[in-house]
Amino acid sequence: MLARGSHADEFRLVRQHASELRDWFDRNTGWSLRVDAEAARLARTPGTLADPTHPAREASRGRAPFTRRRYVLLCLALAALERGEAQIALGRLAEQVVLDAADPHLAAAGVEFTMERRDERLDLAAVVRLLLRHGVLRRVAGEEEAYVSGSGDVLYDVQRRVLAGLLAARRGPSTIITEDFEDRLAELTAESALDSDELRFRAIRQRLTRRLLDDPVLYYEELTDEELVYLTRQRAFLTARIMELTGLVPEVRAEGIVMVDPHDDLTDVRMPEQGTHGHVTLLLAEHLAAMDGEVSRADLERKVQELAAEHGAFWSKSAKQPGAEAELVGQALERLTALGLVAATPKGIVPLPALARYAVGETVVTEPGPASSRTPRAPRTPRTPKRKAPQS
The Cα–Cα gap between 257 and 97 comes to: 45
CB of 237 closer than 8 Å to CB of 250: no
The Cα–Cα gap between 379 and 364 comes to: 11
Within 13 Å and on the Cβ side, how many CA atoms surround 176? 18
The Cα–Cα gap between 35 and 242 comes to: 22
Confidence of residue 391 (pLDDT cuts 50, 70, 90): very low
Average pLDDT, the chain: 88
Say how far residue 155 (Cα) sits from the centre of its chain: 30
Confidence of residue 370 (pLDDT cuts 50, 70, 90): low
List, for residues 282-319, the tens digit of each pLDDT value. Answer: 999 999 999 888 999 999 999 999 999 888 888 998 88
Say if residue 245's pLDDT is above 80. yes
pTM: 0.82
pLDDT, residue 341, reads 95
Q: Is 258 helix (H, G, I), strand (E, B) or coil?
A: strand
Say if residue 20's pLDDT is above 70. yes
Phi-psi region of 247 (alpha: psi -120 to 50; beta: other; left: phi over 0): left
pLDDT, residue 250, reads 94
pLDDT, residue 379, reads 39
pLDDT, residue 380, reads 41
The one-letter amino acid code at 383 reads R
Q: What share of the chain is helix, strand, coil (3-state, %, to 5)?
A: 50, 10, 40
Once rounded to an integer, what is the mean pLDDT over residues 325-345?
A: 93
Give the H/E segment covering residue 333.
helix 324-338
According to DSSP, residue 67 is labeled P
List, for residues 121-175, the tens digit of each pLDDT value. Answer: 999 999 999 999 999 999 999 999 999 999 999 999 999 999 998 888 888 888 8
Say if residue 384's pLDDT is above 80. no
Confidence of residue 193 (pLDDT cuts 50, 70, 90): low
pLDDT, residue 157, reads 96
Q: Is 35 helix (H, G, I), strand (E, B) or coil?
A: strand
Say if residue 374's pLDDT is above 80. no
CB of 41 closer than 8 Å to CB of 26: no
Say if residue 114's pLDDT is above 50. yes
pLDDT, residue 386, reads 58
The Cα–Cα gap between 251 and 259 comes to: 6
pLDDT, residue 369, reads 59
The Cα–Cα gap between 134 and 294 comes to: 40
User: CB 386: neighbour CB atoms within 10 A?
Assistant: 26
Once rounded to an integer, what is the mean pLDDT over residues 221-241?
A: 95
The Cα–Cα gap between 82 and 85 comes to: 8
Contacts of 1 (CB under 8 A, 6+ apart): 7, 10, 11, 14, 39, 40, 41
Of 18-32, 362-376, 377-391, the range with the highest mean pLDDT is 18-32
pLDDT, residue 377, reads 42
Which residues in 318-356 are b (16+ Cβ under 10 Å) and which e?
Answer: ebbeeebbebbbeebbbbbbbbbbbeeeeeebebbbbbe
The Cα–Cα gap between 209 and 213 comes to: 6
List, for residues 39-70, the tens digit of each pLDDT value. Answer: 999 999 888 888 888 889 887 777 889 999 99
